């Protein structure tokens, strides 16, 4: 290999790069044959060390009293890893902490990465575990002191050397590096330094032409990585980008759910020519319900929902709304006449088949009939609670985001400072959110996010 490898290991106060800090870092630079540079240092985290971290690492608060803060060693870290591939065992962990420390200093730190966990899964499939401790035992690697940065760096270096001895290591490593090492041709006026300065954080990104018109809108948990991907495989879409894109902009959201919501909203509002999936989708028809003159709940397909109770679904056409209503009536054994599906007097056809309980001929009282509908509507709701808020991460450590669901529909979202805002009622949330127009797509995005993620919920009672 013709690359220099910066093998890195860190010890930290915890597992979250956003909330925790580095307390020790070690780096060894390896040119494929020998060590050519090294650096190690304790790091003052400007906070106390949890007891369980001390038990694991042996690092105490007293040991860090005179240790440099991260900003004091930042320049050295940049210099020693310059033009190197950042190597670590589970590189996502170490790399995210180093990046976040630089983010706090207002600097974007980017390096190509190699994870030795992925390397060994490729080269040595079928091992019981690919944790560093298990690989040390499996390959009889000598380690003086586990869970100290330099000792773990040396162990990771020995693992890397084993991998580099594999005959097909060069081609395999190139595949593992993927977009980080692959040559990419960017549009005129956009170079690799501009791409590398994009954040590797969650948000929405925009491709603009020479007149600042938006060509394409996308979202990603890693904006830089996703933008690179657009220009790495020649397709009809990437060729179009190459010929038109002259600028790249972005907006961080922190929350992946808000990134999805913002992308959907922006595409429908701005209608960029390269986005086709969402821009033309509209859901103008709703099914409203009300009580007729006899006190029975009836349904109406309408475009206007102002002042009406609405089943929480919207439809692209009156035909699709009618089909949904027909299915809803059939599944719940409702009366076609009373429900408004067929406005005829007397017994409905379903009553003759024993599929209607007789509301159309007065055999089922409005009270009993309406109770069955209310239970069905409750089961039909997209969300289990009509009004609630969802708390998610924000764009920076001291911030969180909040999404409001009111009357079973997405209403809007906002960001707030963790220390200065509390929510005791739904009105507290409504006072800070930016209201959003109803859209069925937004409800589905929120529902999917709740299913896929463990998010904090605030329920509101009337």
Is residue 413 a contact partner of residue 389, using CB atoms and an 8 Å limit? no
Active centre residues (catalytic): 147
For β-strands 309-315 and 35-42, DSSP reports them as: unpaired
Q: How far apart are CA 305 and CA 308, in angstroms?
A: 5
Burial call 167-203: b when 16+ CB within 10 Å, e when fewer: eebeebbeebeebebeeeebbeebeeeebeebbbbbb
Q: Is 226 helix (H, G, I), strand (E, B) or coil?
A: helix
Residue 301's CB: how many other CB atoms inside 10 A?
18
Is residue 315 a contact partner of residue 275, using CB atoms and an 8 Å limit? no
CB within 8 Å of 34: residues ≥ 6 apart: none
Q: How many CA atoms lie within 13 A of 258 on its CB side?
A: 25
Q: How far apart are CA 63 and CA 342, in angstroms?
A: 81
Scanning 221-255, the segments in alpha helix (DSSP H) are 223-230, 236-244
| Partners of residue 390 on adjacent β-strands | 403, 457
Scanning 245-339, the segments in alpha helix (DSSP H) are 256-270, 318-331, 336-339
What values do phi and psi take at 228, rounded to 5?
-60, -40
Q: Is 197 helix (H, G, I), strand (E, B) or coil?
A: coil
| Partners of residue 26 on adjacent β-strands | 9, 40
What secondary structure letter does DSSP report for 68?
P
Residue 109's CB: how many other CB atoms inside 10 A?
19
Where on the phi/psi map is residue 291: left (φ > 0), alpha (ψ -120 to 50), or beta? beta
């Amino acid at each position: 290999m013709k690359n220099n490898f910066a093998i890195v290991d860190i010890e930290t106060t915890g597992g979250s790069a956003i909330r925790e800090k580095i307390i020790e870092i070690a780096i060894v630079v390896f040119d494929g044959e020998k060590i050519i540079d090294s650096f190690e240092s304790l790091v003052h985290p400007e906070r106390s060390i949890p007891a369980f971290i001390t038990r694991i690492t042996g690092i105490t608060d007293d040991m860090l009293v005179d240790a440099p803060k991260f900003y004091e060693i930042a320049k050295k870290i940049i210099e020693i890893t310059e033009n190197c591939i950042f190597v670590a065992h589970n590189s996502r962990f170490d790399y995210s902490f180093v990046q976040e420390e630089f983010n706090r200093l207002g600097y974007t730190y980017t390096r190509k990465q190699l994870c030795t966990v992925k390397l060994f899964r490729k080269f040595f499939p079928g091992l019981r575990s690919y944790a560093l401790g298990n690989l040390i035992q499996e390959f009889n690697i000598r380690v003086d002191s586990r869970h100290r940065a330099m000792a773990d760096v040396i162990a990771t270096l020995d693992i890397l050397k084993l991998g580099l001895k594999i005959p097909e290591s060069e081609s395999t490593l190139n595949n593992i590096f993927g977009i980080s090492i692959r040559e990419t041709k960017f549009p005129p006026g956009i170079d690799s330094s501009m791409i590398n300065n994009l954040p590797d954080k969650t948000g929405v990104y925009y491709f603009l032409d020479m007149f600042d018109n938006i060509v394409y809108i996308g979202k990603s948990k890693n904006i830089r990585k996703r933008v690179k991907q657009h220009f790495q495989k020649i397709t009809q879409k990437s060729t179009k980008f190459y010929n038109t894109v002259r600028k790249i902009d972005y907006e961080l959201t922190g929350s992946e759910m808000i990134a999805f919501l913002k992308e959907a909203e922006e595409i429908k509002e701005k209608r960029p020519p390269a986005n086709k999936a969402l821009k033309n989708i509209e859901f103008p028809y709703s099914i409203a319900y009300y009580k007729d003159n006899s006190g029975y709940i009836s349904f109406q397909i309408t475009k206007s929902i102002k002042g009406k109770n609405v089943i929480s679904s919207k439809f692209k056409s009156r035909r699709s709304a009618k089909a949904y209503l027909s299915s809803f009536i059939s599944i719940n054994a409702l009366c076609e006449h009373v429900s408004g599906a067929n406005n005829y007097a007397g017994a409905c056809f379903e009553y003759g088949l024993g599929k209607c309980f007789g509301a159309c001929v007065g055999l089922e009282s409005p009270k009993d009939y309406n109770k069955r509908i209310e239970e069905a509507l409750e089961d039909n709701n997209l969300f289990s609670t009509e009004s609630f808020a969802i708390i998610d991460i924000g764009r920076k450590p001291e911030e969180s985001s909040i999404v409001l669901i009111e009357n079973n529909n997405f209403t809007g979202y906002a960001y707030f400072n963790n220390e200065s805002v509390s929510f005791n009622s739904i009105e507290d949330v409504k006072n800070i959110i930016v209201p959003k127009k109803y859209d069925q797509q937004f409800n589905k995005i929120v529902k999917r996010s709740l299913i896929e993620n463990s998010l904090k919920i605030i329920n509101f009672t009337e």
